[in-house]
Structure 1
Amino acid sequence: MIDFAIPAELAAERDRVRQFVIDEIVPYERDPRLTSHGPTDELRQELVELARAAQLLTVQAPRSLGGRGLTHIEQAVIYEAAGWSTLGPIAMNCAAPDEGNMFLLSKVADPGQVQRYLAPMVGGHQRSVFAMTEPDGAGSDPAQLATEATFDGTNFTINGRKWLITGANGAKTWIIMARLAANPHLPEGPTLFLTDGDQPGGSDGPGGGSSGSHGGSRERRTRQGIVIERTMNTMDRNYVAGHGVVRFENLVLPKEALLGEAGQALRYAQLRLAPARLTHCMRWLGAAERAQSIAVEHARTRTAFGKPIGEHEGVSFMLADNEIALHQCRLTIWHACWLMDNGAKARHESSIAKAFVSEELFKVADRCVQVLGGIGISDETVVEMIFRDMRAFRLYDGPTEVHKYAIGRKVLRG
């Protein structure tokens, strides 16, 4: 049976989330704490407390940890509403990378790790990172992983360098991917490790960090063996603390730091990536809707050549193309979510969704800039910020070309 109806209770919650974002979160979009490297931790915590007061914090978490245990379809509806502002998911604690990391930990972490690392994340008290991407290759092709871990039977020692590590500055929960070298104790290969990170307010040097600092070349050591070299300057600014360059220098971790089984990191990464691709799509669909609403209002009120510009075919066709794209993207997301809710892994369908939705929503944002004309490239509206962030969305969790490569291989295999 195909049923596209949204249950009344879910629709009411969607509307409540959207109104919460409009009333409580949108006013923060011009807060100076929304920096060129994204929101500061101070701003994030203030937004989190607003969501907590509205009982909208981490609603996607398992019921056992205080969440509502939303299905993927329910997440699609709620995240789209939250995405009306790029700060909405941050407030509700369902933004990347934390949302995907919480999902992974809920599936793989042992009970002790859940209490130490996952529970504080669900409570909105700390952030996390997923440290995989490397400057010399590992990223879309994690098989090129160069960061190495050795194991002596008691402790792991990790050495390597990562970059584009979202939220590294100030994060407390670190998931690190490293290649475990051959040893007589555990299977070798790509492995995940879980450890503590920054302690905000500490001093520079071993054991401390400066989580409020952005950019520059000054190194910040978050704990013995983890060095944050710098925060990278990027076109997007929707993730807390931006994207960092990180170095591991003889990072020593106990055996208890092993996340899941040794040598299984790529399998766990896939477990995380399929739903994470979709949640990116859900949130950015909401942002694209916001851009469309601003463009439509402008087209109704701005006049040229004797009538509102929306009555000119060139503008009305762009708005129509946007409406078609938004509808198609929503259906694509919902289909992949429905498959996952019914037990399918939906890797193929999530790749289709990520490739299609990211490209189409970027076109939506671009057309909105065009409809707005000169003010579309200014910060008079949030459309220019959405446009810049949407460009980066085409790369998050795998660029379009990598997903098309995987889709093509699947097609050829029949």
Structure 2
Amino acid sequence: MENIKSDDDKTQIDLVESETLKLDDFLKEKLQNAFYKQTSGGILHDIVKIATEHSAIDLAYAAAHLPFHARPILYDNLPSRDAKINFIINTTPETRLIIFRYMNENEVKKLFDKMPADEALFILDDMSERRFKRVMELINPQKAKKIQEQKKHSRNSAGRLMTSEFFAFDMDKTLKDAKDYIQVHPRIDFTKGIFILNKNKKLKGYVPARNMLVNAEIATLKQIMRPILHKAFAETKRAQIIDLFERYKLLFLAVVDKNEQLIGVISQEDVLEAMEDVADETFAKISGTYENVSFEDPILKRFLARSPWLIVTLIAGLINVGIISSFQQKEGSLLTFVLFFVPLITGMSGNIGIQCSTVLVRSLAFGLVSKRTKKEAILKELYTGITT
């Protein structure tokens, strides 16, 4: 009789054996084997080969599993500046801080000068204020000004989600004028289209990328533009931005100031990241822990992240026991313990179990647990629960 797997079984396998998880395990093992070579020449040869053959984004995820001293070596052997930028953007904050600690100022300048302002700010947010100011002194003054302007906005606002790099033209310009300008600025993304302004620099419309290809070059932008139906201000809350994208299925959202002048653009990719952050924060609050499951934190750090909520529960329970036990006779102390302390301990155990299970479920949802690492993840939560 054939052993036929049900649809549910297949779904369970897919949760733990996705292609990206298999790749993460493969790269993790490959990198660890390379760093355990006996000679420095053998290590560098293998690392260069791995860095050349694989995507910088995949290597960024795998780097989180390497020893601290190995991560800067992997970064240094990436084949190009663009690869290094993708690596820095996609790796963990812990890995970034380790790499920046070893990076000289000239390399820092080159890296941030080539990086989009919104991505640069995302990385600089994890640095100390002193380090942030030093980077601002090193990089291109125009880029530094953009970053500082965006940093003024609160973290959960449209001003932080938006990118300040976009194409905007006067409505009287021709399509050829716009194309010529775009060709000399290839690093700025225009797949969402271009934005059209009036003489007072107020936002009036946009031209989709497709329309730029199908219309005659002599046409003015005013003739082919479409109206902007939805806009946001820099201080609009992140939750409102997500609602707009979900309801109207937007491809992008223009961000304007109080004078209706365009200051930034929010893309679907930016909103998708924000939605993941909101979902992660919501699950964390439900379970009473603020720890980030994306990072391989030690057990002590996980304990400190979870303990405040448990301490509040413990104190409330002890106060409750104290009040009730004051009404008991001395000979009833054992009964008081059984009736009130045992349920308190049971309740605390339940809270710890909820925290551990929530973190595991979040890890599965984020694709952080593979078939090879599931035992390690379960043991880590078990040790954390016992410690807590």
Per the shorter chain, which TM-score range?
under 0.3
CA radius of gyration, larger in: 2
Question: Taking structure 2 as the reference length, what is the TM-score of the superposition?
Answer: 0.26
- More helix, by proportion: 2
- More strand, by proportion: 1
- Asked which structure has the greater RCO (Cα within 8 Å, sep 6+), the reply is 1
